[in-house]
Amino acid sequence: MNQIRRARRDDLEAVREIERRAGRGFAAIGMPEVAADEPLSVAALESFVAAGHAWVAVDARDRPVAYLLSELVDGWAHVEQVSVAPEHAGRGLGAALIDRLEAEAAAANRPGLTLTTFRDVPWNAPYCARLGFVALEAPELGPELQAVIQRESSSIPGGAPRVAMRRPARRICRAARSVTTK
């Protein structure tokens, strides 16, 4: 059984390795530039940890196998990044991390969650839609979310279309299957 906890500084190299390994899947779908993109530095990741905006799903030995980074964008809890180690994919860890962020957002009276992702990658926008996220049109974007999309569109290699999505907080978060939080 996996648990979710706040990330610590000593988790950050493992988080970087999860990102590298999870990113390799992009090469298989014709996005080698994304697959080769280097993860955030430890220093950049430390800012998420210090702000309390980083969570990890850990195995029985307390080693990270998935992670989520968040920030506040237009008053919504924004999923900056969520990645799962390939050998742990398909177990609901990404969904459980997103639900954990939703619980935090609801407790802070945030309206819900936003994220930006690749529109046409099966484990990106279509996956998020299965989790209840809805794609936003340009007029629905707040100024900060609009800036995120613009920054990502110009800085993420490969030029694949990005989409912003939103999921209102349900105030009563479902318990993730086989994942506990602490």
Runs of H (alpha helix) within 51-138: 93-107, 125-130
Q: Angle at Cα 71 formed by Cα 46 and Cα 78, nearest 5°?
A: 140
> How does the average pLDDT of the chain come out, rounded?
89
Amino acid residing at 62: D
Q: What is the pLDDT of residue 11?
A: 98
pLDDT, position 181: 52
pLDDT, tens digit, for every residue of 37-96?
Answer: 899 999 999 999 999 999 999 999 999 999 999 999 999 999 999 999 999 999 999 999
Query: Are the beta carbons of 97 and 4 closer than 8 angstroms?
Result: yes
Q: How confident is residue 178, by pLDDT bands cut at 50, 70 and 90?
A: very low
Domain boundaries, the chain: 2-181
Q: How far is CA 114 from the centre of its chain?
A: 10
pTM exceeds 0.75, yes or no? yes
pLDDT on residue 148: 94
Q: Which amino acid is at 139?
A: P
CATH fold of 2-181 reads: Aminopeptidase (3.40.630)
Closest-CA residue to 103 (of 175, 179, 34, 153):
175
Q: What whole-number distance in Å separates Cα of residue 35 and Cα of residue 24?
A: 5
Average pLDDT, integer, range 137-165? 87
d(CA 165, CA 97): 17
Instruction: Give the residues across from 57 on adjacent strands.
Output: 4, 66
- For the segment 23-50, the average pLDDT, to the nearest whole number, is 91
Give start and end residues of each alpha helix (H) in the chain: 12-23, 32-36, 42-50, 93-107, 125-130, 143-155
Calculate the CA dihedral of residues 91, 162, 157, 146 and round it to 10 degrees: -120
Q: Averaged over 117-132, what is the pLDDT?
A: 89
Query: Could you give the 3-state DSSP secondary structure of residue 52?
Result: coil
Identify residue 168 by its one-letter amino acid code: P
Read off the pLDDT band of 1 (50, 70, 90): low
